[in-house]
Chain A
Amino acid sequence: MGSNRIRRASAVALAAATAFAATACSSGGSGSGDAGGVVTISVNGLPPATQTVDRKNFEDDVKAFEASHPNIRIDAHEGMMDPKTFAAKLAGGQLEDVYYVYFTDPAGLIQRHQAADITPYLKDVPALADVKPALQDVFKGKDGKVYGLPTGNYSMGLVYNRELFTKAGLDPDEPPTTWDEVRTAAQKITALGDGTVGYADFSKNNQGGWHLTSWIYSLGGDVATRDDSGKWKATLDSDAAHKALQHLHDMRWTDDSMGSRQLLEIPDVQKMMGAGKLGMYLAGPDNIPTIVKQFERKYDEYGLAAMPGTATLGGGDGFMFNPKDAPAKIKAGLAWVQWKYLNPDRQEEIDQKSAGSDIPIGLPQPDLFDGRSGETVKAVHAKYANVPQQNYRPFTDRSADVQVKVEPPNAQQIYTVLDGVMQAVLTKQDANADELLKDAQKKVDTILATAQ
């Protein structure tokens, strides 16, 4: 009897567990429902518990926002944009009401109708008036409607190790402004020996394509252009692209100033820079704090120059809204994004709070605002700066001369093709640039045939 009881008890427990699992698998929904006029919205961007200061600041912001907006409750989730889980979360009703995106995402999300149209509610976002129009355009669809808000931006520049510059007899306050100067500097830094690499670049997981696009922009070219009929065409078989490949080839094979290990991606290069074994690489200003924090370096060790040449690639991040959201949730989400991320009036309070922590204040970017808002933010940053802003003057001084261009349509697919080109040049001494670019041109044209 005893064993029968045990069997029955285990059967009941198993049935309960099975039912629970089934229920858990079928549950879903994007945030809590509304009750008594209070709207609860789920948002992501909450820093992980390991980043104690950032997380505390975020949680304080949530409290302050809820106090000033009694009808809105924030359900904050960790995480940013993860393409690997995005579709599953959307399909399963788990996507946040307000979700974080990189500038490479909106075009595809808009094309696939995976973001809500927020155009009717923009009159409630006065802060947008001073946000740079080029950044707002990233979130506009072909139909002219708006699907998200930018909250951060960067443009590719040249991050360099000031100590290695000095050791190599280069002036760290006068970094290269052309690719020829980059080549000369890379040779001198490599000559220091002991495994020091003058210049490194990415060539894996689409990051090579992303950087080759920046190279081509900097040399006056484009990856794709739109003709009068609105159709996109690849423009890879160009002088600028040939020059870019020739420069890379010469540094890799003639000068041997790019090291022998290739197929690198962001963490590899940051590690080289953090170890003091790399002279220069292409990156946005946000890379400097990453290197400083991750490898326990000092801000003084690094400088930032503008992109060599005449143009650079710009990117950034922002927030979009769940396409299944009701208007009340979209309005609440807009209020949150505006209050937290597009609020120059809060800048003083934010910087004052962050000044004593390891959160960097005074990097040249993000640089979202024009007009009065832009001036306010810059003045506050200068007042509370805790990073050596003079090290970034080569970046800010030339920024007016360097045009910022956005990424091409279907960017990730194009980057896959250009990754191959970058890899070929950096891993095959006899790579044929003509053939590579002609082949890439055909492949990118096929990809662009589906672009809006």
Chain B
Amino acid sequence: MKVDTVGAPRRTQRRPAATPAPPPSSSPRRAGLRRRIADNLVGHLFLAAGVLAFALFSWYPIVRGFLLSFQQVNFAEPATWVGLDNFQRLFDDPLFLTAWRNTLWFTALALVFGFAAPFVTAVVLNELRHGRAYLRMTVYLPVMLPPIVTVLLWRWFYDPGPGLFNHALGILHLPPQQWLESENLSMLSLVLVSTWANMGTTTLIYLAALQGVPGELYEAAQLDGASIRQRLWHVTIPQMRFILLITLLLQVIGTMQVFIEPFVLTGGGPNDATVTVLLLLYRYAFVYNDFGLASAMSTVLFVVLGAFAALYLRLTRSKG
């Protein structure tokens, strides 16, 4: 009934006013529906393929992971509901807090280096008159390397024996450093790897945003006698405020999921100084085979990252 009510005025609108209304037969309506389906068949099927892929590989695992966090499973027998036991065990694990503390420390360091470095690089590249394309490519090049290659390359840089960095320090008559073996330096070393590997994309985003800043604003500032620093502070940064905020949030979301660097370079050491949330989650799932505990950890991470993602969506919507 509802379909009829909605469908009738539409048909009426399409037809000229003088044309008599069609008889109340359902066959033309069905034919119209069939035609509409046939016309959009390809679109629907393309959509169905995407929906199916997302459902199978994203949505279903998310829902299943959430359910697993309240279950004890062995995948051979039906799962047992255990209420909040997995979360209780998770919060009782002394490494839980260590992992969060380390992850937040990594995120903070990554913001200092990973947020500032691409911005400064983009500003410098934007000011260059020559060789900009070459340097832009050079900055972006590490992004094209597979992450594992990047990490293994840096492992050699950090080698306390024949490694590049200690060799360079030796030339400068400075003492060698335990880049990965020292509790104080290891996290910073991981941040440097991550920054080097990922700053290319952010730099290009900033560079595009910088080129969108109206030139007359700089001219006006220059006429008012503003220095380079003042132009940067009062023109560039305010004009790029939105893009800076968005990349900041994306960076927080990205860096809180750090895994490859500690997994390959330090294994969480020395003395748990680089155990991150995802590394601990990996251990729960694939070393201890405790998928309930791993799912509880991923649920906690999901809630935290979800909060940042919600903030991101809110910001992008309000801007839109």
Contact = CB atoms under 8 A, between A and B. Distances in A.
Is chain B a partner of chain A in the same complex? yes
B52 A21 contact: yes
B94 A10 contact: no
Given A86-B289, A412-B287, A416-B287, A261 B270 contact: no
A427 B232 CA distance: 44
Interface string B205-222: 000000000000000000
A140 B265 CA distance: 37
A114 B162 CA distance: 46
A261 B49 CA distance: 50
A46 to B, nearest CB: 23
B142 interface: no
Contacts of A412: 287-288
Interface string A417-443: 001100110111000000000000001
B77 interface: yes
Contacts of B265: 263
B271 A428 contact: yes
Nearest to A205: B267
B134 interface: no
Interface residues of A, number: 46
Contacts of B178: 260, 427
Nearest to B72: A112
Contacts of B76: 90, 112-114, 323-324
B46 A443 contact: no
A82 to B, nearest CB: 9
B31 to A, nearest CB: 18
Given A90-B75, A113-B76, A412-B288, A18 B269 contact: no
Given A113-B77, A204-B266, A412-B287, A22 B52 contact: yes
B269 A420 contact: yes
B96 to A, nearest CB: 12
A191 to B, nearest CB: 17
Nearest to B269: A423
A204 to B, nearest CB: 4
Main secondary structure of the interface of A (DSSP, over half): helix
A261 B267 contact: no
B286 interface: yes
Contact of A420 (B41, B162, B272, B289): B272
A15 B45 CA distance: 7
A424 B270 contact: yes
Interface string B230-273: 00000000000000000000000000000000000111111110
Contacts of B94: 443, 446
A84 B49 contact: no
A86 B73 CA distance: 13
7 contacts: A18-B45, A86-B289, A108-B288, A260-B178, A263-B270, A428-B271, A446-B94
Given A22-B52, A84-B286, 7 more contacts: A83-B289, A260-B160, A263-B266, A324-B76, A412-B288, A419-B269, A424-B271
